Structures are given as structure tokens and as C-alpha cells.
Amino acid sequence: MKTLYSFTVILGLSFFVSSYSKIENTNFLYTKTPNAAIINTTPNDDQNEISNDFFKRYSDLKKYKSDVMSLYKNRSLGTIWYDEDQINEFASALYQKAKKTNDLVIPYQKEIDQLFDSSATTNLSKTDADILLSSLYIVYAKKSTSDSSKKVSYDAMLKDFMNYSTIEETTTVSTNEKVEFDQYYKLQDVLKKYKKLEKSSKWQPIVTETPYKDLRPDAVSNTIAQVRTRLYLLGDLKQDSKSNVYDRELMDAVMKYKVRNGFKPNYILAEEHIKEMNVPISDKVKTLQLNMERCRTIAAEIAGKDEYVLVNVPSFELIYVKNGKVQLKSSVFVGAPLTKTTIFNGEIDRIVFSPYWTVPQSIVENELKSKIAADPNYLAEKNMEIVNGQVRQKPGPENSLGLVKFMFPNPDDIYMHDTPAKTLFDFEKRTFSHGCINVKMAKELAAAMLKDYPEWTQEKIDSAMAGKTEKSFKLAKKVPIYITYFTSLVNENGEIGFFQDVYERDQESVSQSVVSN
């Protein structure tokens, strides 16, 4: 039984996979790319010139021009349907669905068909091909919905793909905080930026003084100037003054850097922070690519769920989502390297208040026996008892499971629970448990999950948590839980975060890739 402490997660994931599961496993490579302009990186006049030229040549699409160009508005990258020179699976899904739609007339179908025929050649530039596919999406979307007022934008288009198993269905865009399902594409955007940075000569190792001393506000050091340049390249600083003084401007940038990467939010620059800044940009590129692949394995499952809990181990964070909105975020701590938290999906079927903690026999043998032998009062002092030959801890505020636990059947006997050890959430690397997930805001999570149960008032919840006997409540509707392992994610502010590879799963994946190649 894996127990003791618990962990939590975050994430806004991505990439709608189920739409692609039936598509033939074919790589569509576009090899001819003359005039492959990036639409949004050119000045406005050039953008207009490009679009005007396209719709002049493809006059049957002119009536869709405004909607088509809306897809490219505020895009950090121009092309939508390409990854480098390769048509992506997003485009393949659109093509397959469009062809299967009854009575849909596909404009310039011959040109579009050639893009998805690996044996065909085409004279289309990447820019023309991308706008042509965007036009196909608009034609398809207008055929698939009766809502003429539906907003056309890149984000709305993504939601069509991410939130439903078919893009014929409509979606309502809320101004409230939404769960992002386009994590795959957000990581993809970051990847392209990092690849450009990798090709430049700007990324240089930060050289520190020996022995290293923590850098604090008002410090003066050559290292400070190098850190300033690094944070400018990463986007945490708007300008690089080259100053070697740890000033207010740099303090704000350091805080931004630390928060998005899961470090403790303070202004101290320890050696470990410099070490993380010095991770080669090529390694960051590999991390982004690896996590994009991880998005594929989970996004399709999450896309159809209106309620779920998601725990991301590397970022030590949990989110609870209901009706497409984030209801709660919480810090967590997870299994130690020798008692790792298992990465899997399950369903929460019970909430248990004032739980007993049945101590795993391994803990009894390895940890408790010697303590009991040395102190006859040990069990009583720890509010423990022996029942049917098993050691268990009685309910109470000092119980190792805290005041509430969340059960989801699984062969490893992992569950989520509260904990009295709140100080452990102050650590940056939170791998303390025997496998279970310890949730900082467990009480709040229980209250949020019970909002649809009128009998569970806040008063009743508080009373159940303060009980002297265990009380279990079976949920009428099971809540999916996803325990994930993402070492890079883009947050709700569009900022990339890189997290600790606490279980060395990234290293294993890279090693397997090398072997397979």
C-alpha cells in the first residue's frame, strides 16, 4: 500500500487525438516551399498584400477573406497547418472530416487533394497552402453550424477541435477562466522560438564566481549581467541594460522566471537556479518535443470530460475542473524516487472524512517496530491502535491522511489525501510520500466536489472532518482523475515553464529514442 504523503498537479493540456486515431498513418511532406512567407511576422501592409494577392488568384474564396484572416490575428507564429515543412495532423483531421461531410463543396479540391497525396507534386507555396487550408476550415465550419454569430478566431477554431470528438459541434466561448486544451500547440509555438534561439549565437553559458555565493537584491557581480541577458532572451525582461547590479527591474524578472518554472517565489538566486538557466537550449528543445508527444496520449480523453481532477507530478500541482472551468488549484507532494507515484488515469468514486490510516506492513516492519520496542507508549502517543493484527492511526488532526481522503480504485492502492505536514509544501522539490498524493487544499477540494450534493452543506463537511469515526460518501457520479508527467507546460499567461524531471522519465524516453534509432 503506497501512502503517507500526497501530491498535486496543474496543467492545461492539449492536442485533440481521437480525431486522428482513424487517419492513416501517413506523413504528408510538403517539399516545395517557394515564397513561404510567415504571414504574421510581416508588416501590416505586406500582410494585406499577401492576402489580397491570394484572394485575387483564388477568387472563389474571396467572400471568406475576413473570416480566414481572423484565424491569423494575434498568432505568435504564422502557419497554422504546418510543422516546419510538414502538414500537421491538425490539417489531416480537417481534410478527412471535410471529405466525409455530406453536400460539402470543397473549393479548389484538386489543389487541396494534392497536399495530402504523398506521390503528388504541387506548385503551391507554403503560404498559399496554409491560407487554402484555412479557407477550407471556414467553409467547413459554416457548413457544420447554424450559428451565424459564432466568433471566428484561432482560439475558437482550436476549441472546435479540442473540446469535441467532431468539429461539427458548436462551442460557447466563456470569458471565465477556461481549461486550455491546446497545450500541444502552445508547446509547439514555444518550440519554434527555442529552435530559432538554438540556431543563434546569443545563448551562452553563465559563468559564475568560485566559490558561488547566493545573489540577492543590490548585489554587484558579473554574474548579474549574464543573468540579465539570459532573462532577456527568455522573455522575462523587456530590455537588457547590461547592468551588473541586482536592481528592481531584475528582481521582477527573477520572480517571473521562478514562478513560471515552479521555484520558490523569492529574489534569491542560488546556484541551482543558475544551473537550470545553464541547461543547453538543445536540451530544452528535446524537452518541449517530448512533452508535445505526451499531450497526444491524454488530450483526447480529457476533451470530452466536463469534470475532472488533474495532477502533474513534475510541477507538484493539482487542478480541479468542472463545466470547462478551473474551480481549484492546489500544491501537492508526491512519492519519493524509491516509492514513485504511478502515472495513470482513474475515477474518484468516494470521499472519506476523518479517515483511519492503516499503516502499510512495510512501514510497520521497517520503521515502527523498532520505535514500539523502544517506547511502550509509542502507539498511544501517536493515536494508533492494533486492530486484527494491523496497526492503524485513529482519525484526528494529526492523522497522516489529514481530515479527508479521495479514493480511486487502482492496483497500486494510491489515493489523494490531506496532510498535517503543511510545511512540506514550502519545499521546491516535493517528493516525500510513499506514493500517495498529498493535497495542500484537500478540504477545499472536497467542498468543491460536493457542490452538486445539497445535503453536503459546509457545516456538514466541517463536522464530518472533525469526527472521531470514519465517514465515507460514495459519489453518484465518478470524477475522472489524471495523474500526469509533464516537465514543460505553458501557463494561462502564455509563459513556458520547465519542471524537474523528478523520476528521470525524460532521460528514459530520450535513451529509448536513441536505442530505437
DSSP sequence for 150-182: ---SHHHHHHHHHSSSSTTS--PPPSS-B---B
Enumerate domains of the chain plus CATH numbers: 43-144+153-166 (no CATH), 204-279 (1.10.101.10), 306-355+398-486 (2.40.440.10), 357-394 (no CATH)
| Residue 479 Cα to chain centre, angstroms | 19
Per-residue confidence (pLDDT) for residue 395, from 0 to 100: 96
Please enumerate in sequence order all residues whose Cβ is within 8 A of that of 375, keeping only pairs 6 or more positions apart, or say none: 381
| Widest pairwise Cα distance in the chain | 90
| Dist. CA 292–CA 294, nearest whole Å | 5
User: The C-alpha cell of 497 is what?
Assistant: 515553464
For residue range 185-236, list pLDDT tens digits in order: 889 889 999 999 998 888 999 999 999 999 999 999 999 999 999 999 999 9
Per-residue confidence (pLDDT) for residue 77, from 0 to 100: 46
| Dist. CA 420–CA 355, nearest whole Å | 13
Helix 458-465 / helix 442-449 crossing angle, nearest 10 deg: 140
Per-residue confidence (pLDDT) for residue 80, from 0 to 100: 81
User: The C-alpha cell of 308 is what?
Assistant: 475532472
| Dist. CA 56–CA 125, nearest whole Å | 16
Low-confidence ranges of the chain (pLDDT < 70): 1-47, 74-78, 83-84, 89, 118, 144-182, 299-300, 509-517
Per-residue confidence (pLDDT) for residue 197, from 0 to 100: 92
| Dist. CA 398–CA 43, nearest whole Å | 63
Please enumerate in sequence order all residues whose Cβ is within 8 A of that of 6, keeping only pairs 6 or more positions apart, or say none: 332, 333, 334, 415, 416, 417, 418, 419, 433, 436, 437, 438, 439, 442
Query: What one-character-per-residue DSSP string does 389-456 give?
Result: TEEEEPSSTTSTTTTEEEE---TT---EE--S-GGGGGSSS-EEESSSEEETTHHHHHHHHTTT-TT-
Backbone angles phi, psi at 223, to 5 degrees: -65, -35
- The CA-CA-CA angle for residues 335, 16, 54, to 5°, reads 140
Per-residue confidence (pLDDT) for residue 510, from 0 to 100: 55
3-state secondary structure at position 476: strand
The residues annotated as belonging to the active site are 417, 436
